[in-house]
Chain A
Amino acid sequence: MPWENPDHPPFIEFRNVTKKFGDFTAVKNLSLKIYEKEFFALLGGSGCGKTTLMRMLAGFETPTSGQIFLDGQDLAGIPPYRRPSNMMFQSYALFPHMSVEKNIAFGLKQDKMPTSEVEARVAEMLQLTKLEQFAKRKPHQLSGGQRQRVALARSLAKRPKVLLLDEPLGALDRKLREETQFELMNLQEELKMTFLIVTHDQEEAMTVADRIAVMDKGELVQVATPAEIYEAPNCKFVADFIGDVNLIEAKVTEKTDALTRMTSVVDGFALECDQATDASVGETVWYAIRPEKVRIAEGNVEPGVVNHIGGVVWDIAYLGDVSIIHAKVGEDDHDTLRSTFANVSRIVEKPITWDDNVVLTFDRDAGVILRG
């Protein structure tokens, strides 16, 4: 993987980029490398600076300081209409007075491409996005999903060095969105292009991207593959932002190179993790464990056993494919741990139900220790 090799030349590079709008700092001294043919996702909540970062790459915003490189070229001073990137807008921004094929041909005509080539490319794009039968229609005669494909075809028509996707699937319903995510991935593999997607939807980012950059308040929090982001978040923010997580405040009691022992601050149960930590003994850390890694069984726990926590079933949510159980592990009603499990058979002999005494267990390698 190119990002594992520090000498691999980046395709897109943000170098100490800062962007201020008046007093508000949208992007704070941010550095990021994106590699060729990568499907890269910028993920974050609204106002985290992800869109600003993309708009600076497209040329619609000028960085207050710092540099942006694309394929070795410094983009400073290059207007949007001369940049080798194309963008698919969140609103699609289809030209309402032009038919589907004219929308797709628009960018090609700007390049003074011969008419026969324009026609061939438009036909290719229509086929790629399965829009052949809608070529003569105006945008307002299309459904949301069709418009989305026109926008995609238009931004791909010029074969840009980078395709920028600004919340491309936000306006689609769930089913269509999932389908389109897979289409996007296939398209990216087929065209061997670099895709940069901006999204607030973590599932979308996890599905399509090779790597994800999680952003918060104008800064990068973690840049890693979807699996790393999920299994080894580097801070409480990422652990909480991506997926569901149990966060347990714990005090380090003993540490070696291969093991850390902790005690829960609130309820005093013992925790053990196969991870080494920088935290010193006596320091308070956060132990993060995903609900699907917490096993649940009926019965009572023997006190003192590591990674065995006794509780009482407080709440059950049946979602069809999975069930979520909130087990009360302390005095306070909100002091609960979540366990998720797949409903592997239709009928369970004796299901766990409200007020049952249960044992929650997990392995040493199930959770991670986070500081701050």
Chain B
Amino acid sequence: MAEEHVAPPVRRGLGGWLLIAMPYIWLLIFFLAPFLIVFKISLSQVAIAIPPYVPTFDLSEGWQAFADGLSELSLENYVWLTEDALYWRSYLSSVTIAAVSTFLTLLIGYPIAYAMARAPQALRPTLLMLVILPFWTSFLIRVYAWIGILKNEGLLNQLLLSLGLIDEPLVILNTNIAVYIGIVYSYLPFLVLPLYASLERLDGSLLEAAEDLGCPPWKAFWKITVPLSLPGIIAGCFLVFIPAVGEFVIPDLLGGSNTLMIGKTLWVEFFNNRDWPVSSAVAVILLLILVIPIVLFQNQQQKMSEKEG
């Protein structure tokens, strides 16, 4: 009788509770508290002051002042975001650029991960090391290096010109193409690693069984390998898509003046316009845009594991 086998209540000492509370305390201090502060600023009004918004809460002024401050908060900044086309166009453009780059990263990353997983056992740690190796150089320097490669008189154009493939330099730098190249290059390892992990676990005899049952290898790839590596594909795509949506450095350095991404919009709002409340509202909306697909994904995962369990 399963019902009768209720586990006896576990007696936890203070240490036990502390251990369980640790991740929650961490999230509280480094995620929830900053988020609430940003959320509060997004409901404030811009002001010429330090800090540059009102109201500011100071509990020493008593509860009445606190209540007055609360009544001053409003959703005005969010309304403003819907009124200026710049904002929703930035969001849309960011999501599009991130989605296209994620797809391109998957196209390039899948063969790499597949080849690594099929490489001789002895070679795999080396290949893994090579994938991680770029992280040893600063991200900023690596993105700067692409300027040298992509600019009109850069390495790529010089190579193509000397090969006679083109007559005049290609304009790549300061276009969306350069942004795609930058994102794909920077985030490739984040897709390759989880994908490699799921492909490496794949039992080779499954492919032999498929072939034995009359399935040619290319078809077995779609019927066996891809479905079984789906968790790796999804995890990898999220790891690329989420940071790519909010990316600032790559569009700022490689993109042009007409490359619209939310990270840049936020920067301008915060540093150039010194409008902390609006930039906070931009950040809160960005968070919502990113949280929704993650929640959907988590739900999906849960359903899958329930179905299997």
Contact = CB atoms under 8 A, between A and B. Distances in A.
A80 B203 contact: no
Contact of B224 (A85, A95, A140): A95
Interface string B204-227: 011011111111110100001001
Contact of A96 (B216, B219, B228): B228
A111 to B, nearest CB: 6
Nearest to B217: A81
B208 A93 contact: yes
B306 interface: no
Contacts of A85: 212
Interface in A115-132: none
A94 B212 CA distance: 12
B308 interface: yes
A154 B214 CA distance: 12
A314 B228 CA distance: 60
Given A60-B208, A89-B208, A93-B208, A140 B308 contact: yes
A97 B215 contact: no
Given A95-B224, A97-B228, A80 B212 contact: yes
B215 A81 contact: yes
Given A93-B203, A96-B228, A97-B227, A79 B208 contact: no
B228 A110 contact: no
A328 interface: no
Nearest to A110: B214
B308 A81 contact: no
Contact of B206 (A59, A79, A93): A93
Contact of B203 (A86, A91, A107): A91
A363 to B, nearest CB: 50
A87 interface: yes
Given A91-B203, A97-B227, A106 B210 contact: yes
Interface residues of B, number: 18
Contacts of B209: 87, 89, 93-95, 154
B213 A106 contact: yes
A116 B212 CA distance: 23
A158 interface: yes
Contact of A81 (B205, B212, B227, B228): B212
A86 B206 contact: no
B45 to A, nearest CB: 55
Contacts of A59: 211-212
Contacts of A58: 212
A60 B208 CA distance: 8
Interface string B169-205: 0000000000000000000000000000000000101
Contacts of B215: 81, 106-107, 110
Contacts of A106: 210, 213, 215
Contacts of A217: none
Nearest to A86: B212
B208 A158 contact: no
A205 to B, nearest CB: 23
Contact of B213 (A107, A138, A140, A141): A107
Contacts of A111: 214
A96 B205 CA distance: 12
Which of B205, B213, B228 is the most central at the interface, judged by chain A CB atoms within 10 Å of its CB? Answer: B213
B214 A93 contact: no
Interface string A153-174: 0110010000000000000000
A107 B214 contact: yes
Contacts of A82: 214
A209 to B, nearest CB: 22
A89 B208 CA distance: 9
B82 to A, nearest CB: 44
Interface in A51-95: 58-60, 79-83, 85-87, 89, 91, 93-95
27 contacts: A59-B211, A60-B208, A60-B212, A79-B211, A79-B216, A80-B211, A81-B212, A81-B216, A81-B217, A82-B214, A85-B212, A86-B213, A93-B203, A95-B206, A95-B210, A95-B224, A96-B206, A96-B228, A106-B215, A107-B213, A107-B214, A110-B213, A110-B214, A110-B219, A111-B214, A158-B213, A158-B214
Given A93-B203, A111-B214, A141-B308, 18 more contacts: A59-B211, A60-B208, A81-B211, A81-B215, A81-B216, A81-B217, A82-B214, A87-B209, A89-B208, A91-B205, A93-B206, A94-B209, A106-B213, A106-B215, A107-B214, A110-B214, A110-B219, A155-B213
The 5 closest A-B pairs by CB, nearest first: A107-B213, A110-B214, A93-B209, A93-B205, A80-B211
